């Protein structure tokens, strides 16, 4: 075993252990803030595993998008809404845990079966620039999903702007409890409209 192979094996074991350990920590951590930070650890170890597979661009994109953007936003949201709730213990709470465990185990079994039954291509691939290969695929076979994803992101962006432009308005009398506390800011009236309104009320 050469130096490179030994380092690869040790790195693989360490990264896998880290990924599994952090993922368990996300689920078991007592505080949601800890879960958020541990999630970043999971993403980072996944990026390390991608690096081991020679997918350097995917690894960097994983760090940039999942750690640098998604995880930071999750933490941001957690820290802005840091309210402590006291949850009453549920009746049949164990049933919920049991169903979750069954679903997770089923998913795990499914993935294991898939991993064992797929004929993997085991011969080493000639190292080429992964950026060029991915760019080619994006604009040939996967053009439609690529464009659809961009439209989806645009929709999310517009939705976020609509939500962010709402202002807090004190509820008026006659509105039930079901109405939203927040609503869109009323449009400013122009001078002519106000004149017309005044005339009509007289």
Partner 1 sequence: MTKAGIDLQLGFETALQNLGLGAGAAHALWMPLPMLLLIIAATLGVMVMTWLERKISAAAQQRIGPNMAGPQGVLIPIADGIKLLTKEDVLPILADPVLFTLGPILVFLPVFLCYLVVPFGQNLLISNIAIGVFFLIATSSVQPIGLLMSGYGSNNKYSLLGGLRAAAQSISYELPLALSVLAVVLMSNGLDTVGIVEQQSGLGILSWNVWRQPIGFVIFLISALAETERIPFDLPEAEEELVAGYQTEYSGMKFALFYLGSYANLLLASLIAAVLYLGGWSFVVPVETIAALAGIPLDNPFLQIGAAALGIVMTMVKAFIFIFLAILLRWTLPRVRIDQLLDLGWKFLLPVSFVNLLLTAALKLAFPTFFGG
Give the rounded distance of the alpha carbon of 159 from its chain centre. Answer: 17
Among 13, 14, 64, 180, binds partner 1 (CB under 8 A): 64
Paired tokens of 93? 């709470």
| Structure tokens given for 118 | 């797929």
Q: Considering only the stretches 37-45, 89-97, 99-107, 176-184, report the one whose residues sit in contact with partner 1 under the rule CB under 8 A.
A: 37-45
How far apart CA 189 and CA 196 sit, in angstroms, is 11
Contact between 8 and partner 1 (CB under 8 A)? no
User: Binding to partner 1 by residue 56, rule CB under 8 A?
Assistant: yes
Q: How far apart are CA 134 and CA 142, in angstroms?
A: 10
Altogether, the residues listed in the chain come to a count of 202
Give the footprint of partner 1 on residues 81-100 (CB under 8 A): none
- According to CB under 8 A, which residues from 125 to 154 bind partner 1? 129-131
- The residues, any chain, with a CB within 8 Å of residue 12's CB and separated by 6 or more, are 49, 52
Q: What is the dihedral of CA 158, 163, 167, 169, to 10 degrees?
A: 140
Is 44 near partner 1 (CB under 8 A)?
yes
The reply to whether 9 sits near partner 1 by the rule CB under 8 A is no
Question: With binding defined as CB under 8 A, does residue 160 bind partner 1?
Answer: no
CB 88 within 8 A of CB 56: no
CA end-to-end span of the chain: 95
Binding window for partner 1 (CB under 8 A); candidates: 54-62, 84-92, 136-144, 172-180 = 54-62
Considering only the stretches 61-69, 109-117, 138-146, 170-178, report the one whose residues sit in contact with partner 1 under the rule CB under 8 A: 61-69
Q: Using CB under 8 A as the criterion, which residues of the chain lie in contact with partner 1 when the complex forms?
A: 2-3, 33, 37, 40, 44, 56-57, 60-61, 63-64, 67-69, 71-73, 75-76, 79-80, 129-131
């Amino acid at each position: 075993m050469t130096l490179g192979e030994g380092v690869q094996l040790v790195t693989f074991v360490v990264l896998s252990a880290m990924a599994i350990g952090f993922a368990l920590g996300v689920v078991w951590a007592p505080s949601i803030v800890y879960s958020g930070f541990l999630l970043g650890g999971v993403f980072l170890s996944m990026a390390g595993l991608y690096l081991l597979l020679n997918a350097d661009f995917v690894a960097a994109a994983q760090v940039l998008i999942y750690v640098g953007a998604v995880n930071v936003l999750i933490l941001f949201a957690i820290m802005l809404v840091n309210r402590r709730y006291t949850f009453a213990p549920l009746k049949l709470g164990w049933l919920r845990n049991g169903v979750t465990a069954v679903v997770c185990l089923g998913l795990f079994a499914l993935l294991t079966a898939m991993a064992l039954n797929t004929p993997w291509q085991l011969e080493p691939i000639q190292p080429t620039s992964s950026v060029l290969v991915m760019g080619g695929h994006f604009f040939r076979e996967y053009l439609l999903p690529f464009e659809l994803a961009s439209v989806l992101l645009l929709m999310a962006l517009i939705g976020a702007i609509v939500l962010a432009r709402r202002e807090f308005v004190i509820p008026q009398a006659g509105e039930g409890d079901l109405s939203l506390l927040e609503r869109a800011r009323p449009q400013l009236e122009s001078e002519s409209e106000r004149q017309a309104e005044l005339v009509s009320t007289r």
